[in-house]
Amino acid sequence: MKNNVTKQKVVDAASSLFFQKGFHGTSVRDIADRASVNVSLISYYFKGKQGLLEYAVTNYYEAYLVEIEESLKRTEDDPAMYRLNELIFTIIHYKQMNHQLTCFIQRELSLDSVFVREMTVTYLAKENYYLKELFQETVGKSVNQDEKGYLFMQLKGMLITPYILHSDWKDQIVGEFAHEQFVKKYTRIIQKWIQFNTNISMEKRSK
């Protein structure tokens, strides 16, 4: 248990520093000082900074997919729109509660960082599959195939925008309580967007 707590302290410290200074701008000494551990301990647990990064990103995505799968299982008997709304809440909540690491990963992906992209490609494919399948089921025949593709890309954009352009959103989140409020408000906006586009498309088809 103590080992797990110490490892998490190191991961938390690294996440904060990677977010602030970038991967290459952060040294093992920086991480050790922030986590209040010996430098040798990082080598012992993670085999260095690269190993620490791989551990942090892998754990991030494995826990993320568990959250997604649990949401889908928990709502499997509910209507598609409700399931999608719950899944969106789950996604934004997880990303917001892991804000700094989420921002760092999204930034690296936007830069086409090889070491992050190679580690996340499988996880992102699973995320895309779950989300797209449920989105297609939700909009159903109310949206034509071309529109579905564009709307799905817009949905994915809304799910990552706060973490790619996080500096533009910083005034929205001040203090821990604000994270929870942001999750509620932002997911509500996305849910309204889905409802709006579905209704508009249904109206067009009925004319």
Gap between the Cα atoms of 67 and 70, Å rounded = 5
Condensed to tens digits (0 to 9), the pLDDT of residues 191-204 reads 999 888 876 444 44
Burial 169-205 (b: 16+ CB within 10 A, else e): eeeebeeeeeeeebbeebbeebbeebeebbeebeeee
**pTM of the predicted model as reported, rounded to 2 decimal places:** 0.86
Condensed to tens digits (0 to 9), the pLDDT of residues 124-159 reads 899 999 999 999 988 877 677 778 889 999 999 999
Gap between the Cα atoms of 74 and 63, Å rounded = 16
CATH 1.10.10.60 fits 1-47, yes or no: yes
- Residue 64 gets which letter from DSSP? H
CATH number of 56-206: 1.10.357
Domain boundaries, the chain: 1-47, 56-206
**Residues contacting residue 109 through CB under 8 Å, at least 6 positions apart:** 116, 117, 120
Condensed to tens digits (0 to 9), the pLDDT of residues 170-179 reads 655 555 668 8
